[in-house]
Protein backbone atom coordinates (compact mmCIF):
# COMPACT_ATOMS: atom_id res chain seq x y z
CA UNK A 1 0.00 0.00 0.00
CA UNK A 2 1.35 3.40 -1.06
CA UNK A 3 1.27 5.88 1.76
CA UNK A 4 -1.01 8.85 1.27
CA UNK A 5 -3.13 7.39 -1.57
CA UNK A 6 -6.80 6.67 -1.02
CA UNK A 7 -7.74 3.01 -1.30
CA UNK A 8 -9.96 3.60 -4.39
CA UNK A 9 -7.06 5.20 -6.30
CA UNK A 10 -4.78 2.36 -5.32
CA UNK A 11 -7.31 -0.14 -6.70
CA UNK A 12 -7.54 1.93 -9.89
CA UNK A 13 -3.78 1.68 -10.33
CA UNK A 14 -3.91 -2.15 -10.08
CA UNK A 15 -6.36 -2.38 -13.02
CA UNK A 16 -4.62 -2.56 -16.38
CA UNK A 17 -4.37 0.90 -17.98
CA UNK A 18 -5.94 -0.39 -21.21
CA UNK A 19 -9.25 -1.18 -19.49
CA UNK A 20 -11.42 1.28 -17.66
CA UNK A 21 -14.89 0.47 -16.52
CA UNK A 22 -16.35 3.85 -17.46
CA UNK A 23 -14.17 4.94 -20.37
CA UNK A 24 -15.48 7.95 -22.30
CA UNK A 25 -15.96 7.56 -26.05
CA UNK A 26 -13.30 9.28 -28.08
CA UNK A 27 -14.43 11.97 -30.48
CA UNK A 28 -13.44 10.83 -33.95
CA UNK A 29 -14.86 12.92 -36.77
CA UNK A 30 -15.84 11.06 -39.92
CA UNK A 31 -13.37 11.77 -42.72
CA UNK A 32 -14.32 11.13 -46.31
CA UNK A 33 -12.18 8.83 -48.39
CA UNK A 34 -11.85 11.66 -50.87
CA UNK A 35 -10.77 14.32 -48.33
CA UNK A 36 -7.87 15.26 -50.61
CA UNK A 37 -10.20 16.27 -53.45
CA UNK A 38 -11.64 19.28 -51.60
CA UNK A 39 -8.55 21.49 -51.65
CA UNK A 40 -6.38 22.28 -54.66
CA UNK A 41 -2.93 21.69 -53.07
CA UNK A 42 -3.92 18.16 -51.97
CA UNK A 43 -5.62 17.41 -55.28
CA UNK A 44 -2.57 18.65 -57.18
CA UNK A 45 -0.32 16.41 -55.08
CA UNK A 46 -2.51 13.36 -55.72
CA UNK A 47 -2.71 14.09 -59.46
CA UNK A 48 1.08 14.49 -59.62
CA UNK A 49 1.49 11.13 -57.88
CA UNK A 50 -1.09 9.54 -60.17
CA UNK A 51 0.70 10.95 -63.20
CA UNK A 52 3.48 8.41 -62.64
CA UNK A 53 1.25 5.82 -64.35
CA UNK A 54 1.13 7.71 -67.69
CA UNK A 55 4.88 8.34 -67.40
CA UNK A 56 5.38 4.58 -67.07
CA UNK A 57 3.04 4.06 -70.05
CA UNK A 58 5.23 6.37 -72.16
CA UNK A 59 8.35 4.48 -71.08
CA UNK A 60 6.79 1.18 -72.13
CA UNK A 61 5.71 2.63 -75.51
CA UNK A 62 9.22 4.00 -76.15
CA UNK A 63 10.82 0.68 -75.20
CA UNK A 64 8.44 -1.17 -77.52
CA UNK A 65 9.24 1.32 -80.26
CA UNK A 66 12.99 0.80 -79.81
CA UNK A 67 12.52 -2.96 -79.80
CA UNK A 68 10.53 -2.87 -83.06
CA UNK A 69 13.13 -0.54 -84.58
CA UNK A 70 15.85 -3.04 -83.67
CA UNK A 71 13.85 -5.85 -85.29
CA UNK A 72 13.91 -4.13 -88.66
CA UNK A 73 11.95 -1.95 -91.04
CA UNK A 74 8.96 -4.30 -91.38
CA UNK A 75 8.52 -4.62 -87.62
CA UNK A 76 8.76 -0.87 -87.16
CA UNK A 77 6.13 -0.20 -89.84
CA UNK A 78 3.80 -2.67 -88.10
CA UNK A 79 4.41 -0.87 -84.80
CA UNK A 80 3.59 2.48 -86.36
CA UNK A 81 0.38 1.00 -87.78
CA UNK A 82 -0.49 -0.32 -84.29
CA UNK A 83 0.03 3.18 -82.83
CA UNK A 84 -2.69 4.49 -85.17
CA UNK A 85 -5.30 2.54 -83.18
CA UNK A 86 -7.88 5.10 -81.86
CA UNK A 87 -7.63 3.71 -78.32
CA UNK A 88 -3.86 4.22 -78.31
CA UNK A 89 -4.24 7.72 -79.75
CA UNK A 90 -6.60 8.64 -76.88
CA UNK A 91 -4.31 7.00 -74.30
CA UNK A 92 -1.29 8.81 -75.71
CA UNK A 93 -3.16 12.13 -75.65
CA UNK A 94 -4.25 11.69 -72.02
CA UNK A 95 -0.79 10.51 -71.06
CA UNK A 96 0.76 13.55 -72.73
CA UNK A 97 -1.49 15.88 -70.71
CA UNK A 98 -0.57 14.09 -67.47
CA UNK A 99 3.14 14.15 -68.32
CA UNK A 100 2.95 17.90 -69.02
CA UNK A 101 1.18 18.39 -65.67
CA UNK A 102 3.82 16.25 -63.94
CA UNK A 103 6.65 18.23 -65.53
CA UNK A 104 5.22 21.66 -64.74
CA UNK A 105 4.37 20.83 -61.14
CA UNK A 106 7.78 19.22 -60.66
CA UNK A 107 9.60 22.28 -62.03
CA UNK A 108 7.51 24.53 -59.77
CA UNK A 109 8.39 22.30 -56.82
CA UNK A 110 12.15 22.65 -57.40
CA UNK A 111 12.53 25.94 -55.44
CA UNK A 112 10.88 24.35 -52.40
CA UNK A 113 13.13 21.29 -52.56
CA UNK A 114 16.34 23.18 -53.31
CA UNK A 115 16.87 26.26 -51.18
CA UNK A 116 19.81 28.25 -52.52
CA UNK A 117 21.31 31.13 -50.59
CA UNK A 118 23.58 33.77 -52.06
CA UNK A 119 25.24 36.36 -49.86
CA UNK A 120 23.04 35.36 -46.95
CA UNK A 121 19.76 35.80 -48.83
CA UNK A 122 17.53 33.20 -50.38
CA UNK A 123 17.56 33.16 -54.18
CA UNK A 124 14.08 33.94 -55.59
CA UNK A 125 11.99 30.97 -56.73
CA UNK A 126 11.88 32.28 -60.29
CA UNK A 127 15.67 32.09 -60.60
CA UNK A 128 15.61 28.44 -59.54
CA UNK A 129 12.71 27.20 -61.65
CA UNK A 130 13.42 29.29 -64.79
CA UNK A 131 16.53 27.34 -65.89
CA UNK A 132 14.42 24.16 -65.88
CA UNK A 133 11.90 25.71 -68.26
CA UNK A 134 14.65 27.19 -70.47
CA UNK A 135 16.39 23.80 -70.71
CA UNK A 136 13.04 22.14 -71.49
CA UNK A 137 12.32 24.57 -74.35
CA UNK A 138 15.86 24.35 -75.76
CA UNK A 139 16.01 20.55 -75.65
CA UNK A 140 12.49 20.26 -77.11
CA UNK A 141 13.49 22.63 -79.91
CA UNK A 142 16.59 20.57 -80.66
CA UNK A 143 14.55 17.36 -80.75
CA UNK A 144 11.98 18.96 -83.10
CA UNK A 145 14.79 20.27 -85.31
CA UNK A 146 16.41 16.83 -85.39
CA UNK A 147 13.15 15.06 -86.24
CA UNK A 148 11.97 17.49 -88.92
CA UNK A 149 15.23 18.09 -90.79
CA UNK A 150 15.35 16.88 -94.38
CA UNK A 151 18.12 14.56 -95.37
Provide, rounded to the nearest whole percent, the portion of the chain with pLDDT above 90. Answer: 56
Between 61 and 3, the higher pLDDT residue: 61
Cut 0.85: pTM above it? no
Q: Is residue 135 part of a domain?
A: no
The pLDDT, as a whole number, for residue 73 is 93
Rounded CA gap, 147 and 80, in Å? Answer: 16
Gap between the Cα atoms of 18 and 99, Å rounded = 50
Asked whether residue 9 is domain-assigned, the answer is: no
Which structural domain range is residue 73 located in? 37-115+123-130
Phi, psi of 58 (to 5 degrees): -60, -40
Query: Would you state the pLDDT for residue 62?
Result: 93
| Segment 56-72, tens digit of pLDDT | 999 999 999 999 999 99
Residue 93 lies in a domain: yes
pLDDT band per the 50, 70, 90 thresholds, residue 10: low
> pLDDT by residue (tens digit) across 85-114?
999 999 999 999 999 999 999 899 888 888
pLDDT-derived band at 144 (thresholds 50, 70, 90) equals very high
Domain-located, residue 11 = no
On whether residue 51 sits in a domain, the answer given is yes
Q: What is the CATH number of the domain that holds 93?
A: 1.20.1300.10
Domain membership of residue 87 (yes or no) is yes
Number of domains comprising the chain: 1
Amino acid sequence: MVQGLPEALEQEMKISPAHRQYHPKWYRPQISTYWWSHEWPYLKFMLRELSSVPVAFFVVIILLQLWSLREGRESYLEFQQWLKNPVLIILNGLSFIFVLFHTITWFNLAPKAMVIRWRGKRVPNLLISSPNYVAWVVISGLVILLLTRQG
